[in-house]
Structure 1
Amino acid sequence: MSERTALVVGGTSGIGLATARRLHAQGAAVHVVGRSKERLEALAVSDPELVGHRADGGDREQIAEVLRTVGTLDWLVVALSGAEGAGPFAELDLVALRGAFEAKFWGQLTTVQAALPHLTEDGSITLVTAISARTALPGTAGLAAVNGALESMIRPLAVELAPRRVNAVSPGLVATPWWDGLPQEAREAYFAHAAAQLPVRRIADAEDVAETVALAATNRNLTGTVLESDGGLHLITLN
């Protein structure tokens, strides 16, 4: 394939980093945006072929500056996330939930708006959401609201921004740093319990989801779609 240019925002760890590596393996020149100086320094050592940029996805001017450096863009992947917004609804911290919207919903939209002038006519936008938007797991109403808001925009944006393609990938349980706030023993026990109930009988890793994200970004016949890369979580009720 002729070289394409990809930008992965939220790409210094987890699904974002795995996606950046996969797109580079497919022949793209890949730029990665992250907020953490330490992670970007580590990226420069572990993945020198990826071009790192320090910026906040929720800051339009910072993202615009990155895009002025990148120039023309073929594939935009937005993997911005956050750890807030989960918990039983009766005790849900609404200030924290507003923070979750700021980090993920507004961060992703800000990035996409800033990128539009740089996106080629046959380019693509791929958002990374979460299966909480389409399941009924207790304690995830806040997460469902954030991710559902993003997913509800995919179909109208695919029509409005055509011929550029717009998709989302909706992961389920994935062994990434998102779970680092849970003690290791408790995390391993929960993953084992959940894996036994999932149709695929395993917890995904970041590379599993990155394969789906890369497909959404590069396949010229996919648009207006939310791809569920969740091991069948949307089919069951965890108990």
Structure 2
Amino acid sequence: MSTALVVGGTSGVGLATARRLRAHATVHVVGRNSERLDSVALSDPELIGHQADGGDHRAITAVAETIGTIDWLVVTLGGTDGLGPIGTLDLDTLRHAFDAKFWGHVTTVQAVLPHLAPTGSITVVSAATARAGMPGTAGIAAVNGAVESLVKPLAVELAPIRVNGVSPGLVDTPWWDVMPESGRRAYFAQAAQVLPARRVATADDVAEVVAMAATNVNLTGTIIEADGGARLVSLT
């Protein structure tokens, strides 16, 4: 049986991806939050949890060494930092956003690479802001754009290991918990009327695409836009 490692796999798209992959593999999930890991241990006892920070090279190396050979690495590190008008955007906050997501992705890939199977895969998760023109998103767009810029060169450099990215749009996940429930629901309802798919995605919608990118042996160097058509319309 194959072995999968999902870093950022204790909630949202990461957890949904881990659940999809467990039908085909032994799945390990990494998260920083001990409470979330405990919750996953109760809800999904088939998943093997590890507490570590994706930006901590030593910690991720230790996890990979514990697992052994890894067939599918999925990195779903995220964060809400980096939003806001560029004129007033706190640059320390933006640097933190790069540390958490971009450097977290690079650190994780580098740490796990010696343990990846020669026919394995790396799948990263960015966001539609990388290619959209939404006011107030320049910072977070730069972070996600940096993550996406890894895909094509690494697909060539690391071949035959496959490297792909998935770019979600609006997804109903804990990422939105910073917004009051009533405001979030109102925004989602408004967005659903504009999106060509006429719905806001669930974490499992995106996870289905991430799992496909991780496991399809003929897919590499590709960023899949799983955004419900958000790139085609204006949500502002």
Residue identity (%): 66
Partner residue in 2 for 1:43: 40
Partner residue in 2 for 1:10: 8
Partner residue in 1 for 2:66: 69
Structure 2 CA distance for aligned equivalents of residues 95 and 185 of structure 1: 30
Q: Aligned pairs, how many?
A: 236
Structure 2 CA distance for aligned equivalents of residues 51 and 87 of structure 1: 37
Give the residue type in structure 1 aligned to 2:108. Answer: T
Q: TM-score when scaled to structure 1?
A: 0.98
Give the residue type in structure 1 aligned to 2:174. Answer: P
- Shift in Å, 1:88: 1.5
Structure 2 CA distance for aligned equivalents of residues 91 and 193 of structure 1: 27
Partner residue in 2 for 1:121: 118
- Shift in Å, 1:92: 1.0
Q: Where do 5+ consecutive residues of structure 2 fail to align? A: none
Partner residue in 2 for 1:203: 200
**Residue pairs, 1:79-90, within 5 angstroms:** 79-90=76-87
- Shift in Å, 1:91: 1.4
**Residue pairs, 1:21-60, within 5 angstroms:** 21-25=19-23, 27-60=24-57
Structure 1 CA distance for aligned equivalents of residues 212 and 90 of structure 2: 36
Q: What is the CA deviation profile of residues 168-216 of structure 1, one whole-angstrom value per residue up to 9, with x for unaligned ones?
A: 0000000000000000011111111111100001000000000000000
- Shift in Å, 1:117: 0.4
- Shift in Å, 1:90: 1.5
Q: 2:182 aligns with which of 163, 182, 185?
A: 185
- Shift in Å, 1:83: 1.2
**Residue pairs, 1:98-137, within 5 angstroms:** 98-137=95-134
Structure 1 CA distance for aligned equivalents of residues 197 and 29 of structure 2: 31
The answer on 1:163 being equivalent to 2:160 is yes
Give the residue type in structure 2 aligned to 1:210. Answer: A
- Shift in Å, 1:238: 1.8
Give runs of ≥4 in structure 1 deviating > 4 Å: none
- Shift in Å, 1:119: 0.3
The answer on 1:229 being equivalent to 2:206 is no
Indicate the RMSD between aligned Cα atoms, in angstroms: 0.6
Give 3-state SS (helix, strand or coil) of 1:91's partner: coil
Structure 1 CA distance for aligned equivalents of residues 224 and 150 of structure 2: 14
